[in-house]
Structure 1
Amino acid sequence: MNKTSSKKVVLSSCTYLCASDYTLAPHAWDFNAALFSNVNGKVVRTSDIEGLREMNKQQREVIVYIRYQCFTPDFQKIVKSRIKLSQKNGIVKIGSVQELKNNNKELIENLLQHDSICFSFDYKDDINEYRVGYVYMPVSVR
């Protein structure tokens, strides 16, 4: 959008479409995602530092954290088999998506299959009218 507008463009929000067969929830754009950025090797929330949501013509990495909920009993069983409970402090560690992918790539591919992220951008057009633009991106396993 910055390529079509000379005005300031701001990444305003991000929603997530969870469309996996492993979830019981309706497949709709109802999951709000938390947006983070990589600033000099440190991951920071974009709302904590002014200007991190402002877009420019340079490529920038945006890190999106989402939460899944309402898994099917079959998927819950698989995840529970991977849980490690710390005896010291009671912290439950499931592991990262990367660890789950290394152990069972098909599981993660099926979990993320048909999922998408929608970024919305606020900007003013050339006649100074407020606009909102959307970019939809499919989720894939790398």
Structure 2
Amino acid sequence: MIYNCLFITALLSVGVCAMTDLKDQKIYNKVLILFFICAIIMRNFSLNHAFIFKGFFDSAIVLGIGFILFHFHVMGAGDVKLMSLIAFCVGILDFIYALFISSLFAFFYAAWLIIIQQRKGRFPFACFMFLGLLIFGILTI
């Protein structure tokens, strides 16, 4: 029950961030903080301190790896923070599955941009994270 609520929280946060990422190419911290607070509250309902600590640990791992990618200009800081929130909500293993699905869609989109439109550049990754998380949720029902 709590995992389902956390998954829905992650899906909603990624959906909102995907819209702002498409529109403004920004992921706003106030949206991430709001959903992070909601996720903390829901994790506290479990009354299992190991479960609460695991969420912070998973989030810290993704945040650390993500900021290395940000430092090398592979990914934006908003995407890194969003992925950290997803890992906090769903756990590191489910995050990796969702990230794999997201990366497949992003790869095909990038290939289409390069081959068909003859253009290179940045594109919003939050919409692919939303798609990957949604498909992962449907596949695991």
Structures share a fold, TM > 0.5?
Answer: no
Q: 1 or 2, which has the higher strand percentage?
A: 1
Pick the structure with more helix per residue: 2
Larger Rg belongs to: 1
With normalisation by structure 2, the TM-score equals 0.24
Report the TM-score when normalising by structure 1. Answer: 0.24
